[in-house]
Structure 1
Amino acid sequence: MSEQPTLAQVAAAAGVSPATASRVLTGSVRVSTSTRRQVYEAVSRMGYVRHRAPRGSVSSGAAAGVTVVVCDQLPRLFTEPYYARLLAATGAVVAEHGTHLMVTTVSPTSSILPALSGAVLLVGARERHPLAIKLCTSGITVRNIGRPPHDLKLPYTDVDNRDGGRQAAEHLLLTGRRAVAAIGGPPSLPAARDRLDGLVSTLREAGVADVPVAYGDFTAASGTHATQWLLRHAPGLDAIFAASDLMAAGAIQALRRAGRRVPADVAVIGFDDAPLARRTNPALTTVRQPVEEVATIATRLLLSGTTGIDPILPTELIVRDSA
């Protein structure tokens, strides 16, 4: 196209009204998943931008491929289901564009900027992460997966983690659970904070003032250890919300060892809807986050050089047997 497409043209291409397209692009969660996907596919296909990307960043970024920078230890890249789902979806989009995908890890505290080419998807950056700060001012085309830490001005694509916590809390309240405890993820990670905040604020509004919290690192082992701590400090608990499915699986294991039945004695809710959620015993009630869709949309927006659009995708409570 010789001229930048308008919002009305994007809406027409997506088969929605301009008002609906506007709601999608301003991050409203009150839009269906299929409509959201149609709008973002039209945005990336047509090269629509609300603010023009820095000179040269679109063509050079797309031509040189995508580097996914994961702020985590290397072994976690191969053991955390979230990363596998995200990388598979990112790789599929990159392949569609005829370019290539590179993946690198940096420690959660590393200040060393790795050798990068092309555009960057930044994953797992925590508060005060020096690499996130460097990338913010580097001139490299970057999009963060998740809300950026400490309000850095980075384009991002996220899910509504806070609303996911709210949905979990409301389900527990509706099923009569009042002694609710939580296993939070790393407090320095915005997504982990949002999930816990959504849960705790909803419970407090319902009159549940005391919500014991233990913290883990999204691994099953940390979920087990956190549950053991909770059982010592809140032995009367009747529900546990865990900020990841792996931690929820660890919680179920610890509860079983302690002689607590799930869900008869203690309900358990996870977060992710990873494949593991269907294989736990009992099958895990969890908050589904659309990992593949987040990765697909983020990668398309990154490769098209689109800025000024920070999609926030909805989460959904999936009720199974554990709660």
Structure 2
Amino acid sequence: MNSRPPTLDEVAQRAGVSTGTVSRVINNAKHVSKKSREAVERAIAELGYVPNKTARSLATQQRGAIALAISSDDPALFANQFFAEVITGVNAIVEETDLELMLVLAASERGRARFARILRSRSADGVMLLALKENDPLSIMAEQSGVPVVHGGRSLDRTPQWYVDADNRGGARLATEHLLSLGRTRIGTITGELNTHAGVARYLGFREALALSGLSDERVAHGDFSEASGMAGMKTLLDDHPDLDAVFVASDAMAAGALGVLRDHGRAVPEDVAVVGFNDIVTARYTQPALTTVHQPIEALGREMTRMLLRLINNEQVTSLILPTELVVRDSA
């Protein structure tokens, strides 16, 4: 028999839950599933854990947590409107609970090590993953941990069990079909990162629309969703295809960069070159000219990811979601 009383951490380890969950069971808090509550009660009985007044006081202050892990270590990430809107959506749902939100940038070796510690210590009751690349180690780490995992988007190499995504392929097809409806026939694209599902899906949607119209899809430049890569991609397209009359750009940030290059090269938009972006971030309304783009519900993506994770934590049935996209016509096309 142990010479010392068991700790809260030992109860959590025996029950296979976080210490926050143990705390909430002790204090009869909400947001604890029947399965987790029973596991904690069983662990308490097996270990003979008896919380004293001090332990109860500490436990009362201890709240459960969920983690949002982003496969990026770019300091500029927080200036990226896409991620800012996703986090806003996530936080809106978290604020309705007694859970804490942990944000982890986990693309670097140090970030991945921190994420591994969170999983290993069960500091989080569940995890959301965002911006995964092909063969991203975060997905494997999270799924092997045994904690509930929801993906924001899908991976190229495998479809996760639970995810929330937007109809990237259909949205790109809509954008390209709109350019075709304007009578444009020399249409190019600036792709996003092609080691991401979103990047590939948007490229495929562009190609499908052109193939159905019998037009060439050879006017292609590659970007990484950033404004700088949109500038570089637009310069490449103008150099290689000076007869270009339209371009579908796989993100609004890249499209903003492309508009600047077209302006510098004396190409009027949309008269000479029509431009369509993707995402419908706030700045799309204020570019010169205002950007025609594909709207995806970014805040809703964050909210639905969080709702799905909370249902998984509570052992409820969930179904993966693909959110619809729609074309928003402004002045650029």
Report the TM-score range of the alignment, normalised by the length of the smaller protein.
0.7 to 0.9
Distance 1:121 1:57, change over 3 A: farther
Give the percent of matched residue pairs that are identical in Structure 1 and Structure 2.
39
Structure 2: distance between partners of 1:196 and 1:143: 25
Contact 1:146 1:156 in 2 (8 A): yes
Deviations 1:115-137 (A, max 9, x none): 32221110001101112122122
**Gap runs ≥5 in structure 2:** 1-30, 41-62, 119-123
Q: CA deviation at 1:142?
A: 0.8
Counterpart position of 2:198: 191
Deviations 1:249-292 (A, max 9, x none): 00000111111111000000000100010110000000000011
RMSD: 2.3
Q: How do 1:260-279 residues align onto structure 2 when only pairs under 5 Å count?
A: 260-279=267-286
1:259 is aligned to 2:266: yes
Structure 1: distance between partners of 2:164 and 2:145: 20
Query: TM-score normalised to the size of structure 2?
Result: 0.76
Aligned residue pair count? 270
Counterpart position of 1:208: 215
Structure 1: distance between partners of 2:139 and 2:98: 28
Distance 1:59 1:274, change over 3 A: farther
Structure possessing the higher relative contact order (Cα contacts under 8 Å, 6 or more residues apart): 1
Structure 1 counterpart of 2:81, which letter? P
Other structure's SS at 1:96 match: coil
Counterpart position of 1:227: 234
1:240 is aligned to 2:247: yes
Deviations 1:124-180 (A, max 9, x none): 011011121221222121100012331143310011111001100110010011111
Counterpart position of 1:133: 140
Counterpart position of 1:80: 80
**Gap runs ≥5 in structure 1:** 1-46, 48-52
Other structure's SS at 2:95 match: helix
Q: CA deviation at 1:56?
A: 3.6
Structure 1: distance between partners of 2:95 and 2:281: 24
Structure 2: distance between partners of 1:106 and 1:57: 31
Counterpart position of 1:14: none
- Larger Rg over CA atoms: 2
Q: CA deviation at 1:74?
A: 3.3
Distance 1:145 1:58, change over 3 A: farther
Contact 1:200 1:211 in 2 (8 A): no
Counterpart position of 1:309: 319
Structure 1 counterpart of 2:153, which letter? G
Contact 2:151 2:160 in 1 (8 A): no
Distance 1:94 1:267, change over 3 A: same
Distance 1:259 1:143, change over 3 A: same
Answer with 208-217 or 253-262: which moved more. 208-217
Q: CA deviation at 1:293?
A: 1.1
Other structure's SS at 1:186 match: coil
Counterpart position of 2:328: 318
Query: TM-score normalised to the size of structure 1?
Result: 0.79
Contact 1:64 1:119 in 2 (8 A): no
Other structure's SS at 2:127 match: strand
